[in-house]
Structures are given as structure tokens and as C-alpha cells.
Chain A
Amino acid sequence: MISAIRSVLRHGFELIERPFERLFGPALNPLSQLGALGFFFFWVVAVSGIYLFIFFDTGIERAYESVEYISRNHWFHAGVMRSLHRYASDLLVVMVTVHLLRQFAYDQYRGVRWYSWFTGLPIIWLLYGSGITGYWLVWDRLAQYVAVTTSELLDRLPIFGEPIARNFISTGTLSSRFFTLMVFMHIAVPLFLLFLMWIHILRISRPKVNPPRALAAMMLFALIGVSVWKPALSQGHVDLAKAPAEVGLDWFYLPLYPLTEIWSRGSVWAFLGAFSLMIGLMPWLPPLRRVRAAQVDLSHCNGCARCAEDCPYEAIRMVGRTDSLPFPTQAQVNSALCVSCGICVGACPSSTPFRRSEELKTGIDLPDYDLKTLRERTIEAAAALSGPGRVLVFACEHGGGRQFGGAVRLPCVAMAPPSLFDFVLSRDLADGVVIAGCAQSACFNRLGVEWTKERIAGTRDPYLRARVPRERIAMIWASALEPRRVVAEIAMFAKEIAKIPRQKLRAPQTSTAPAQSGYDRALTEIGGVR
């Protein structure tokens, strides 16, 4: 059932992500920046809120007037700020909702990712707490409706002595101190929210907390534009002698409030409890079947830290050396955090298929899919190729090339060390290599696409050697929904490759190749490359 819903949602996301990626490019695609945009809107809300607080009066009579003064007399700065505050808050809800759905759709919430998913749950509660307390402060008819309905809901819980809703039955029952309390809550709850947002990203390597500047600038300009076009306004002064029968609801923050009229208040709480319980338990419904975590082979690890640097899950850390080799550090895998994506294998400078050792070994490897197996599968897949334009495909098991016949499948394309592509071409196993990964803005392992591109471009260690003709390597980034595009692009690439005359690569690396580091040299001397 859950996987069926996930599949439908994933289909939906992949359908809209492609046009978004075409228009914005992978770097600016808002759908791949949802978390960062959430942080961005939080900061917009925080800054505009601080600005509004300068003008806000917490007196029971003055609260409404001060907000009106902001919106009418000083609309050009404080009024715009009020609108920014409102719409950025709404957009924060949108970002959080789409982010949650997307993580669910792409199955990025189970296994070691349970932590971020689980800590996202209190974020939702606090986000709504922040928004709802904010609506009370305006003290207009919407505030009255929100105050009464929220109080009635809270009164359903057996924790309050006197019904809170009694505070809103006549003017005399409410004092200015109530607004002081609400202001305190409206500041304290978002502060706690920020703290939880930090907890939420604790276990993520290189979390995106700032969107690209160009995207942020466009968002900010659009937000200002909308704020000027449709300023956020109050809905008339509170009249406790009248029921706020008709209100312009904020459907992002208050969608459940109408339900209190349809269902009983107890049912609304039951729904919220069931929703929270379901969200909280989802990472274990069912739990992700885990393959064994990466393992470090100390005799091949020189403590270069590239694996720790590239791991998207903070699963590797460098610790003091425990053997006699003359290196200060060694990699250590936290198996509780490792998802066995293999990116560390691709990052290890010892991962070279050129090694002639009896049993191909590397510094860090996947026990269930080691480098030796990868080399064997590569050779096997290449042996099946024939004719002109022999193209060997390395496909990510989450991307559009996963069902391509004859492809070497990997948990992530970044598991393949660049030297593997060199190996394929220099040994004439194929005329060209296709790296078929996930869609650029929806990499299953977050950083696999980025690292692969940088390694091939020679901007990230380990580099693809300069002697490898780049025209014989193609990278195709496609979602699982785009197998046809992958097939078409592979066919096109094979045609191109067929036109290029076969050429045996020079064995030694050219002078333009990046120099070997001291550690690499030391490892070679010890016997790393045999």
C-alpha cells in the first residue's frame, strides 16, 4: 500500500521535475532546493518579524491599531514587511510539505535517513504553532476565530482547569498581559523551531541551508512583488460580542480549523495524533532492507580522507591510526549511518582496476559488491559488446538507465572510480563509456551526480586522468521515468563513437594529469599498486 502511494507520488514528481530542470537547470531547480528554501523563508520571516516588532504594541486595544498603522500609514516599508512575513510563512509551509512528500516519494526517509525524517515531525508541529500564535497577535476577526477555535481545541485536552475559550467571551476577560504572553510564544516557538531545524540536518553531510544566490534573489524579488501587489491586511477589529462568522482563512496554516465544525474536537485531535504517529513510524513501515556497510581495509588505506570528504551521510570519520603504517589517520565507518552507496569506494585513490594483485583490494569497499566484483562485471559486460560503436553503460540503480540491457548497475554511479572508465577505454574493452545516473536535481544519494561530474571534469579528487579522451565518455542524468530518453541518448552516443577511429591510448599519463600526492606515493611505495 505504502509503496503503491510512493510509486504514484514519485511518478508525479518525476513528471514535473523534468520541465523544472530544463527551465532552471540542475543548480537552480527549486525542487532540489526545498530544504534550503525552507531555511531561506525562515530567515525572511525572522528578519521581517523583528522589523514588525519595532512597531507592534502589545496592549489589548493598541495591538490592532498598531498593525493597522503599519499596514495603512507605513505600507511602503512596514506594510511590505508584514506581507513578506505572511507570505514567506506560507511559503515555508509549502516548502516543508513538498519537501516531506518528495523525500517520501523518492524513498529517502528509511534506513539511516530515519533520523532526519523523524526530527522533521516536531518541526511541522512547531511551524504550525508559530503561525497560529502569529495570527492571534493581529487581533482582528480572523484572530478572534483562530483564538476561539484553538482554545476550544485545547480545551478538549484534559490538561487545563478552566476552559481557555472563556477568555474570549467578553472584553473584560482579556488583559494586555495576554498579548505579552502571545508575543513571547510567537518568539520562543520559532526559536525552538530553528533549534530543531539544526537538529534535523545534523546527520547530513554538506546540508544545503542556503539556496543559490540567483534563486534566492529571484525568490525575494517575487516575494516583494507579490507583497506590493496584494498586501496582507487585517480583517476588521475584534468584536467579542459577535461571532466571527465569515473569515478569510489562511489555508496553509488553518486548513484543519473548518474540520472542527464538521468533526468533533476529539476527532480532530485523534486525526492529528494518528497523522503524527503514522509519520513518526513510516521509516519502519517496512524498514529498509540494508546491505552490509562499507568496510575499511587498513593495509590499503593511507588516511587521505577523500572517502570521509565525499560521504553524503557523515558515515565516515578519520581517526588515529591503529596499525603500524606510517600515516597519522585512518578511515572509520559508522555502520549505523552507512547506506552502502559506494561513493567512498569511488573516492578512494586505491580503487583502481589496473591493479594486478591476485585479489583486487582497495582501502574501503562494499562487502556485498566489492571493487573486484565491479571489475569482473565490467569485463563481462564489455565482452558482450560487438560491432562499431561499442558502448559500455554504467547505470545507477535509481536512475533512468537501471533497466538498460547489458549495463553495469551500481548503487550510485559515483561508486565507479574514474580509473574504471580509464580501464575500460585503455584496455579497449569498449569504444565509449556512458555514465547513466539519476536526474541531476534528484540524485538518490544526494551528492553522487555532483561528485561524478567533478571527478570527470578533473576538479575533484580522484580525477579522471587527462589521457582519457573525454569525447568517449557521456554522462546521462535521467530519472527512472525516462528510460526511453536514456536509450535514445545511448544510441546517439554509440553512433558518434562509431565515427571516431579506434585509437589505443598511451600507457603513461600525460603531464597535464594531476600530480600524485605524497600519501599516494607513500602508499605506492608500501605496495599499494602492484
Chain B
Amino acid sequence: MSYLRIAGQFIVILALFVAVAAFSDWPVYRHTPRGSAVVVLTFVHGAERKSECRRLTTEEIQKLPPNMRRVQECPRGRRPVYVELDLAGKTIFQASLPPTGIAGDGPSKVYERFVVPAGSYDIAARMRDTPRTDGFDHERRATVTLTADQLFVIDFRTESGEFLFR
């Protein structure tokens, strides 16, 4: 095999590899517009049970197998969590988050991302996790200044029962 032919083969392979190396990190991808920030609303929180525990009657207890007798029946299912998020006076997200799990007894969860232009905003997060039909059980308002590319997280702490802005 002539050296020229080998050189030709090597050049073809090298050209292919150079193309592969180039596309391994180019062209650069910008997934949010320049000068924008990202607001993430995320939490995992279980609402109250659908109904209160009920005391079983003597007849009902008698009907149960001896090893499974109990005095109370507590339904597992949870209520959905209702949440709203306002940004600059406008509601950008509202949802009734169903409980997780096959029996619907797990916590509700949310993870939503919003890309907004950088700037100063009035932010309000509200949540309802009890049987009430109007008003909210938890609410937090704040004015925040979002810088370009900032990741602003709105979380909820179940232990303290309050929204967390960071």
C-alpha cells in the first residue's frame, strides 16, 4: 500500500474525527433567553386526610376478624393541595395537586419552571391543604429582584408550614 494512499485514508478518518470533536460541544445551546431568570415552584406536601377518623360501633368491631379488630377507622386518602402563584400581580400558576400513591394517600407534589425577564417582581404563593373551600391556609408575599440567569426557588416546608423563597 502506498504511503500516499495511507495518508489519504488517515486524512479522511481525521476529518471525520475533527467533525465529531467539534459537534461534541458546539454549537452552544442557550435554553433560556438572554437576560432572563428562572422561577421554580416546587414542593412535596401532604394535605389533610379526606375525612376524620371514625369510632367503629360494637357491631362493626365484632364483624372484624379477631386479629384485626380496632376501635377507629381512619380513611387513608388525602385531599388535593390547591396552590396559586402570582408574579407581578398576575396569577401564572394555579393547580389542584392530587395526592400521590395508588390509594391516594401520598403527598402532593409539584415542580414547575417559569422563565421570566430579569427584574423586580412582587411574588405571592398561596396554598390550601384543608377542607376549606375559600381562602388559603398558607401564604407568603415578597418583592424580589431577579438577576439574569438566577434560579429563584419557591419551596414549602411542611414542618413549619410556610413557603420558602430563596
Chain A interface (Cβ < 8 Å from any Cβ of B): 23-25, 28, 30, 86-87, 90-91, 94, 142, 145, 152, 155, 161-163, 165-166, 169-170, 218-219, 221-223, 225-226, 229-230, 232, 235, 240-243, 245-252, 257-258, 261
Contacts and interface: CB of A to CB of B under 8 A. Distances in A.
B150 to A, nearest CB: 6
Contact of A170 (B14, B24, B111, B166): B166
A71 B10 CA distance: 27
Contacts of A94: 20
Contacts of A30: 13
A87 B166 contact: no
A273 to B, nearest CB: 22
Contacts of B14: 222, 225-226
B25 A226 contact: no
B21 A258 contact: no
A221 B23 CA distance: 20
B143 interface: no
A226 B21 contact: yes
A265 to B, nearest CB: 11
Given A169-B155, A170-B166, A219-B13, A251 B23 contact: yes
Given A166-B44, A169-B40, A245-B149, A90 B109 contact: no
Contacts of B25: 142, 232, 235, 248-250
A234 to B, nearest CB: 10
Given A30-B13, A229-B18, A258-B29, 12 more contacts: A23-B12, A24-B9, A91-B17, A94-B20, A163-B42, A222-B14, A225-B17, A226-B17, A243-B37, A245-B32, A248-B29, A249-B29
Interface string B125-165: 00000000000000000000000111101010000000000
A142 B155 CA distance: 24
8 contacts: A30-B13, A162-B109, A163-B42, A163-B109, A166-B44, A245-B34, A250-B23, A252-B20
Given A170-B153, A240-B151, A243-B149, A90 B20 contact: yes
B94 to A, nearest CB: 18
B42 A230 contact: no
Size bin of chain B's contact surface: 35 or more
B28 A243 contact: no
Q: Is the interface of B mostly helix, strand, loop or mixed?
A: mixed
A166 B111 contact: yes
Interface string B1-37: 1000110111011100110111111101111101011
Contact of A152 (B17, B20, B28, B111): B111
B44 A258 contact: no
Contacts of B149: 242-243, 245
B77 interface: no
B31 A145 contact: yes
A161 B100 contact: yes
B24 A241 contact: no
A261 B148 CA distance: 18
A236 to B, nearest CB: 12
B106 interface: yes
A169 B151 CA distance: 8
Contacts of A155: 111
Contacts of B31: 145, 245-247, 258, 261
B124 interface: no
- The 5 A-B pairs of least Cβ separation, nearest first, read A248-B25, A163-B111, A243-B38, A249-B29, A226-B17
Contacts of B153: 169-170
Nearest to A240: B151
Nearest to B28: A248
A142 B28 CA distance: 11
A86 B24 contact: yes
B7 to A, nearest CB: 10
A243 B32 CA distance: 9
A91 B101 CA distance: 42
Contacts of B12: 23
A254 to B, nearest CB: 8
A246 B28 contact: yes
A242 B24 contact: no
B79 to A, nearest CB: 18
Contact of A241 (B5, B44, B148, B150): B150
B24 A250 contact: yes
B28 A230 contact: no
A104 B129 CA distance: 55
A218 B17 CA distance: 11
Interface centre among A161, A169, A170, A221 (most CB of B within 10 A): A169
A91 B20 contact: yes
Given A94-B20, A232-B24, A243-B38, A23 B9 contact: yes
